[in-house]
Structure 1
Amino acid sequence: MDEHMEQSSADAASRYAHLIEHIQDAVVEFELVGGDPVVRRVNEAFVDSFGYERAAIVDEPLNDWIVPEWLREEAQALDERTFSGEINYQRVRRETTGGLREFLYRGIPYAGDGATTDGFAVYTDLTDITRTERRLEVMNRVLQHNLRNKANIVLAYTTELLAEFDEQRAHRTEAAARIEGAARDLETLTGEAADINTVLKSTADGRTTDCVPLIRDVVDEHRRNWPAASVETDLPASLVVRANRRLRFAVDALVENALEHNPSDEPSVHVRAAPADSDGWVTIRVDDDGPTIPDDERDVVTGDGDITATRHGSGLGLWLVKWTTELFGGELTFATSDLGGNSVRLRLPSA
């Protein structure tokens, strides 16, 4: 009887191992050592999703491989819940060999041998699904709202101009200026939509690019277009990132936004790029002295807020930046600049 039970247990273990190895979600079996998850086994889907070979990651601290430095506190909080025997269920961003990706994470603890706490981490890649849903929602909301509003402005002021053509010149000049402004906004919107279409049809393709000359080209162009503005740079001689030339879309949109939305006659913009100290990431920063981007607009773009009929962002510029950055496995964040305005930052994998 004992022999039969042992055989049955061995068969069950074999079937279980076969299941784990062939499911499509990435699975890590770990042991908590000093509160940190240490990898004991990964399945083939983990190798495919994260890009790390089994031999490299087994018996290594999991967080050292897949959690970027700025997300360590979140990961540690999840590990503490696992250590206490709680099941975790949360959307997370984790680092792969291709950059950041979004996963649905499930942490499932169980009592291991002796006094150890072991568990499984299951990662379902949501990146493509989430981005596609959000892109469709944004394009629908922004284009529907902004195109309708700008068309209404053009129509209303054209009607007013015709009705009051013989009235005082100052009024006609103001109406004409509003029509011109609305037409320019429409032109910008359609240009951004075209650039977004290019980005969404692109692939990261594994190329590397020196971002310094790219940034200098963007800055030189905007200095010519905005002669009264102060557009300064703080750049190394060279800084190679895992991206292609489409990175220019993001940098150009950030500098354009910083200048366009600043009511000052002499706006100031400071563009910086620097490698991280040790974590393998590069940061490109565009700081300005203009009005800060509203919190609800930031939240919608970063994913911390829901898109609604009234909350979808004021245009497509920041969405172009976000999706271009995500194409290369990077991240868009916001802070307050030392100039008193916005500090918009792109984190990109270094080469």
Structure 2
Amino acid sequence: MSREGPDDGDGDGDEGRGDRYRHLIEHVQDAVVEFDLVDGEPIVSSVNRSFVDVFGYDADEIRGEPLNEWVVPEWKLEEARALDANTSSGEVNYREVTRETAAGLREFLYRGIPYEDGAGSGGFAVYTDLTEISRNERRLKVLNRILRHNLRNNANVVAGHTTRLLAELDGPDAETTESAATVERAAHELERLAEEAGHIHRILRRPTDEDADVDIASLARAVADDYRTRSPGAAIEVAVAEGETVRADDRLRYAIDSLVDNAIEHNPSASPRVRIRLNEPDDGADATAAEWAVLHVEDDGPRIPPNERDVIRDGEAITPTHHGSGLGLWLTELTVEAFGGELAFDASDDLGGNDVSIRLRRR
């Protein structure tokens, strides 16, 4: 880059500091253009290597040229001129923009950073390429909506027709009844997958407020009350003190709900036992123990298979045959991850089944 930084009084002077700036800008991955403002229009004075790679324009051919004529699509000129006006007035600009490259249109996070020195006014245009991120987000939204919609609708159709056929059959044999029951269970599982996919979408699309807090006792009791109604045969115990708050928001309920659902759904017992409890730090506990709350969901059912745990806990490679059988544990992991927490798996000493814990910072 052509301009040098000011003398900071440490003996390096303009030349030494300018060399460091140029070295930094030349090696950052964002495309950077340095420009002079001539009658409010940015004229390219230099570009870094990433600009050449991303935009596909050679540094020599674009130097001295109006930047907008090279990178701004004709129908976006009004937007670009408004940004240039802000830069001319000394304002730093941040905006997602569409810009033209030698290979076509791409999407960028644009930052326009003005400056003035003895040589006049100018600035830097910094472009972070968001193209693949934006495209992937749109694709995932489309796939998520289509998948959830089709799963839910088709599952409802299958379950409804299976129930009707069973009612109309004249004394079906045991094999037919079992086959129909299997189809019905599969349909309800598809409905649940669609619901869990919807929860995951809500977790991922909503930004996390670092200042948020939630009463974990209220969430635990609400989940327990819900499942006492839905699964009256289950014995659900809640041991969470009043007033315990953690750094999270109401989406934490998805994680607790998913763990309780998993404990009941995968327990072959007619009366599964589930306990939701919160670790209470001892009086002599160290600062770390007091700072973190650990919510345990224990059960008396079969242990979660190792491959189900490992793919989530240990970052095992996700493959077509190694990804977990459902979305419930993924929903819990992604929820806890969103709040800067940790999910862990162990065996329950008291109940003999699973002990799945959620670790979050206390408020």
Interval of TM-score (by shorter of Structure 1 and Structure 2): 0.5 to 0.7
Q: TM-score scaled by structure 1? A: 0.55
Q: Secondary structure at the match of 1:256?
A: helix
Write the distance in 2 (CA, Å) between the matches of 1:309 and 1:167.
41
Are 1:222 and 2:234 an aligned pair? no
The runs of at least 4 aligned residues of structure 1 exceeding 6 Å deviation read 6-20
1:272-291 pair list within 5 angstroms: 272-276=277-281, 277=285, 278-279=287-288, 280-291=291-302
Q: Which residue of structure 2 lines up, in the alignment, with residue 178 of structure 1?
A: 182
1:346 is the counterpart of 2:358: yes
Structure 1's 166 and 303: CA in aligned 2 closer, same or farther, altered over 3 A? Answer: same
Whether contact under 8 Å (1:236, 1:274) holds in the other structure is no
User: What residue number does 1:265 align with?
Assistant: 270
Deviations 1:89-122 (A, max 9, x none): xxxxxxxxxxxxxxxxxxxxxxxxxxxxxxxxxx
In structure 1, the residue matched to 2:257 is 252
Aligned-pair CA distance for 1:169 = 2.6
Code of the residue aligned with 1:332 in structure 2: it is L
Which digits, 9 at most, give the CA deviation of each residue in 1:305-339, with x for residues without a partner? 11000011110001111111111111111111112
Q: Is the 8 A contact 1:253 1:317 kept in 2?
A: yes
What's the counterpart of residue 315 of structure 2?
Answer: 304
Q: Which has the higher contact order (CA 8 A, sep 6+)?
A: 1
**Which residue pairs with 1:240 in the alignment?**
245
Q: Equivalent residues in 2 for 1:96-245 (5 A)? A: 168-205=172-209, 206-245=211-250
- What's 2:306 paired with? 295
> Shift in Å at residue 207 of structure 1?
1.0
Distance change in 2, residues 1:244/1:275 (3 Å): farther
Which of these two proteins has the greater Rg computed from alpha carbons?
A: 2
Identity of aligned residues (%): 44
Deviation at 1:341, TM superposition (A): 1.2
Tell me how far apart the structure 2 counterparts of residues 194 and 330 of structure 1 sit (CA, whole Å): 21
Q: Note if contact 1:335-1:342 (Cα within 8 Å) is conserved in structure 2.
A: yes
For 1:188, what is the secondary structure of its paired residue?
A: helix
Cα 1:18–1:309 change in 2 (3 A) is same
Q: TM-score, normalized by length of structure 2?
A: 0.54
User: What are the equivalent positions in structure 2 for 1:322-337 lying under 5 Å apart?
Assistant: 322-337=333-348
Distance 1:24 1:204 in 2: 28
SS in 1 for 2:269: coil
Cα 1:202–1:166 shift into 2, 3 Å: same
Greater shift, 8-17 or 338-347, is seen at 8-17
User: Match of 1:346, as an amino acid?
Assistant: I
Question: Shift of the alpha carbon at 1:171?
Answer: 2.2
Residue 84 of structure 2: aligned partner: none
Which structure 2 segments of 5+ residues have no match?
1-9, 30-132
For residues 19 and 220 of structure 2, the distance between their equivalents in structure 1, rounded to whole angstroms, comes to 55
Q: Equivalents in 2 of 1:330, 1:282: separation in Å?
A: 10
Query: Is residue 239–residue 275 contact of structure 1 (8 Å, CA) maintained in 2?
Result: no
- Partner secondary structure for residue 334 of structure 2: helix
| Cα pair distance change 1:211/1:310, threshold 3 Å | same
Structure 1 runs not aligned, ≥5 long: 1-5, 26-128
Query: Deviation of residue 283 (structure 1)?
Result: 0.7
Please report how far the alpha carbon of residue 293 of structure 1 lies from its aligned counterpart in structure 2 after TM superposition: 1.0
The amino acid across from 1:335 in the alignment is D
